[in-house]
């Protein structure tokens, strides 16, 4: 992928379903996967004479999102009709907000862990993306297109939908990905949305323009519509940068337009050109009252959570773990809560608990496709296992076997599992001494290499002792005895 010589400017419009039990303007249930067209009523089908009624919880949750991102919450928010003809919006207008959105301004900070794994080492430090506003609207139905016909399911129509509109502050596909990851993480943290892209709960439009260095005016804005995965966003932006760069190099000017991303072909195709970005003939909605936000704002303030970046800093300060480990633990609210319960119950300390959570627990959760709240091992039993390993009661490998047994459903304590399996870590020096002498006698050349400064050989010799003891010797005692017998102390 060649680097573009043009300056790239990117803004996002993120559509996120709000986590409510019912729809935005009616009492129909919000339920993913229900039989098509079974969660509908005259209001969300747009039948004549049906009147909308506001969903208080959707407004409160949107204000909560705004507070998490430092938005200004206006005293009054109002509703507008966005007029257009489209088969998945049966009224031929969408109830939305243009003139007085529920949240204004705000910003989102990007951490290294928000960037793609292969980009984190070169990710910019302290990047902040400003928000223009957040407004509430109703989602549209879902269209499924076939060769000769299309099917429409209106179950989704009317679902509360936040549109989060950023300023054009991003300069790469990777920054756009980081913003989506940061937004998604915070929205889940606050319980505002499940933000599951596979279920269509989070979708994204990308606005991208290129201009030559030195030009202050932004280039023509090209909009990429309805990208429904984070990987698609990254690939689409990279493709569009290359496409626009090639055309600009050839002297072909760009025209403001909307394009569709074809994920299979890996390219964008033209949908339409637009002379004016606002061509929807917005009108104030006569059926919906303006909302005074003071009461909802007070309720939302009580539910603002400790945000991931604050939790990450607290973990680093309070538990003495690395910023990276703190970031991994704080990335998921349920995992962070689980870790804190385990750390508070572990005499071995939070640092060792964090290592076991990151290196062992997460591997097993991921292998079984489980979230932290579904973990079959309680934080207290996990803490007991970490303490058993740290105190020398069992070896590291034996501890892993015990954890496997606990994941498989063994309800006994870690100590009982160890006893039942005959696990016993020997720390008595008189029992370990014969194995140490045997290894030193077997590998005098390795001992000499160790004395010459090759520290890795010491670990290798410890492994040989552990092998002779069938894994029962305490590796810390083995290491100390080897150093003493080899004259390295």
Identify the DSSP state of 1.
-
Q: What's the pLDDT score for residue 437?
A: 85
Q: Domain limits at 68?
A: 7-300
Give me the CATH number covering residue 467.
1.10.10.410
Same domain, 415 and 318: yes
Q: Does 324 reside within a domain?
A: yes
Same domain, 292 and 200: yes
What's the predicted TM-score (pTM) here? 0.85
Tell which of 420, 440, 465 closes a domain. Answer: 420
Same domain, 224 and 324: no
Task: Provide CB contacts within 8 A for 479, sequence distance 6+.
Answer: 458, 462
Same domain, 268 and 164: yes
**Mode of pairing for the β-strands spanning 142-145 and 160-166:** unpaired
Q: Does 201 reside within a domain?
A: yes
* Nearest residue to 23 via CA among 162, 138, 120, 130: 138
Same domain, 161 and 61: yes
At 186-217, the pLDDT tens digits run 999 999 999 999 899 999 999 999 999 999 99
Tell me how many domains the chain contains. 3
Q: What's the pLDDT score for residue 42?
A: 96
At 380-415, the pLDDT tens digits run 999 999 999 888 788 888 899 999 999 999 999 999
Q: Does 293 reside within a domain?
A: yes
Q: Does 1 reside within a domain?
A: no
As a whole number of angstroms, the distance between CA 425 and CA 259 comes to 64
Same domain, 231 and 312: no
As a whole number of angstroms, the distance between CA 60 and CA 73 comes to 11
Same domain, 414 and 436: no
As a whole number of angstroms, the distance between CA 364 and CA 335 comes to 13
Tell which of 420, 440, 463 closes a domain. Answer: 420
Same domain, 233 and 368: no
Same domain, 353 and 458: no
Query: Above pLDDT 90, what percent of the chain?
Result: 73
Q: Does 123 reside within a domain?
A: yes
Same domain, 272 and 406: no
Tell which of 265, 300, 335 closes a domain. Answer: 300
Positions in the chain short of pLDDT 50: none
Q: Does 93 reside within a domain?
A: yes
Same domain, 294 and 318: no
């Amino acid at each position: 992928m060649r680097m573009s010589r043009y300056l790239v400017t990117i803004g996002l419009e993120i559509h996120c379903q709000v986590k409510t039990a019912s729809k935005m303007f009616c009492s129909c249930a919000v339920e993913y996967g229900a039989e098509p067209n079974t969660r509908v009523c005259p209001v969300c089908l747009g039948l004549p004479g049906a009147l909308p009624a506001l969903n208080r919880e959707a407004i409160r949750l949107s204000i909560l999102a705004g507070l998490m991102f430092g938005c200004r919450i206006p005293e009054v928010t109002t509703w507008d009709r966005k007029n257009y003809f489209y088969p998945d919006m049966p009224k031929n207008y969408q109830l939305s907000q243009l003139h007085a959105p529920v949240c204004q301004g705000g910003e989102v900070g990007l951490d290294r862990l928000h960037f793609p794994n292969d980009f984190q080492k070169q990710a910019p430090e302290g990047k902040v993306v400003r928000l223009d506003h957040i407004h509430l609207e109703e989602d549209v139905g879902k269209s499924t297109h076939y060769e000769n016909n299309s099917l429409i399911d209106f179950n989704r129509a009317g679902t509360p939908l936040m549109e989060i509109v950023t300023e054009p502050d991003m300069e790469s596909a990777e920054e756009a990905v980081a913003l989506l990851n940061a937004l998604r993480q915070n929205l889940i943290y606050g319980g505002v949305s499940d933000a599951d892209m596979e279920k269509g709960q989070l979708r994204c439009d990308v606005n991208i323009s290129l201009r030559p260095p030195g030009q202050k005016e932004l280039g023509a804005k090209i909009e990429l519509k309805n990208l429904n995965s984070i990987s698609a966003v990254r690939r689409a932006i990279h493709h569009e940068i290359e496409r626009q760069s090639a055309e600009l190099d050839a002297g072909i000017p760009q025209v403001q337009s909307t394009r569709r991303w074809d994920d299979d072909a890996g390219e964008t195709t033209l949908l339409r050109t637009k002379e004016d970005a606002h061509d929807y003939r917005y009108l104030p909605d006569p059926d919906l009252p303006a909302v005074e936000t003071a009461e909802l704002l007070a309720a939302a303030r009580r539910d603002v959570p400790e945000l991931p970046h604050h939790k990450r800093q607290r973990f680093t300060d309070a538990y003495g773990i690395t910023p990276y480990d703190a970031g991994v633990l704080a990335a998921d609210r349920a995992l962070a809560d689980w870790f804190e319960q385990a750390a508070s119950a572990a005499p071995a300390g939070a640092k060792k608990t964090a290592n076991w959570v990151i290196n062992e627990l997460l591997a097993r959760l991921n292998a079984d496709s489980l979230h932290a709240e579904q973990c079959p091992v309680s934080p207290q039993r996990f803490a007991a296992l970490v303490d058993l390993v740290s105190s020398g009661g069992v070896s590291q490998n034996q501890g892993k076997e015990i954890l496997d047994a606990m994941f498989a459903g063994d309800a006994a304590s870690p100590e009982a599992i160890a006893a039942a399996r005959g696990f016993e870590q020997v720390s008595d020096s008189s029992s370990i001494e014969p194995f140490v002498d045997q290894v030193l006698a077997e590998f005098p050349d390795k001992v000499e290499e160790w004395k010459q400064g090759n520290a890795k050989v010491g670990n290798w010799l410890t492994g040989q002792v552990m092998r002779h003891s069938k894994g029962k010797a305490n590796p810390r005692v083995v290491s100390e005895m080897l150093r003493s017998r080899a004259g390295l102390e």
